[in-house]
Amino acid sequence: MKILVLNGSPKKKSDTFRLTQAFLKGLNADDRHTVNIVNVIDRRIAPCRGCFGCWARGDGRCVINDDQNAILDLYREADVIIWSFPLYCYGMPSHLKAVLDRTIPLVRMKMQKLSDGTVRHEALADFSRTHTLVICGCGFPHWEGNFDGLRQMCKVCFCDPDMVCVPETPLLNVPEAAVVADPLLARFEKAGEEYGRTLRLSRETVAGLEKPMIPAEEYIRQVNGSV
């Protein structure tokens, strides 16, 4: 398989990307797959101009001359696309959202109504066999309410993908928290193995990955004690 990882963290030492790396370790344990990791913060990705020049040309390319077209090439060829990023203001970081906005060359202006009543633009390429996974971490102490907006956006944009939303991810880079962080990383590696076999994650697996590492009250106390 060809696996494309869009790393949306702006940091070299990323909490969320540690989870993704553990997942990839399990997913590609036997080195059978080709993994392309794009560190989006290092690429030149301008905002979408809304010019629809891509639709006028219809060749699946963006008219802006930067690094996005190389990403679109990888996107079209990928069997699995992993969007990995920290939660910023209850959504994607802006530099990664620019990548998403500029996937519009991969669809046509022509619209079609689906069986569930939703209306979408017709795909320029065949993405029916493309699997999408979203891995997002945040610094809040629990899941409820913090990922709702992101989940809805991803459900619509990626046609209800597998999605793992992890609270308390700053603990992953606290040496004293290794006793709770290392087991989570191990669960992500196991989840990668599961995904490699089935290209899906069970509800039980996702629940185990999203479970807070420590109680919310303790997490808040530790955060507030460090400022």
DSSP line for 172-190: GG-GGGHHHHHHHHHHHHH
The residue type found at 23 is: F
Query: Model's pTM, two decimal places?
Result: 0.95
CA separation for the pair 174, 179 (Å, rounded): 10
C-alpha 14/C-alpha 7 separation (Å) is 10
pLDDT in tens, the chain (227 residues): 999 999 999 998 899 999 999 999 999 998 999 999 999 999 999 999 999 999 999 999 999 999 999 999 999 999 999 999 999 999 999 999 999 999 999 999 999 888 888 888 899 888 889 999 999 999 998 777 899 999 999 999 998 899 999 999 999 999 999 999 999 999 999 999 999 999 999 999 999 999 999 999 999 998 898 76
Domains and CATH numbers, the chain: 2-225 (3.40.50.360)
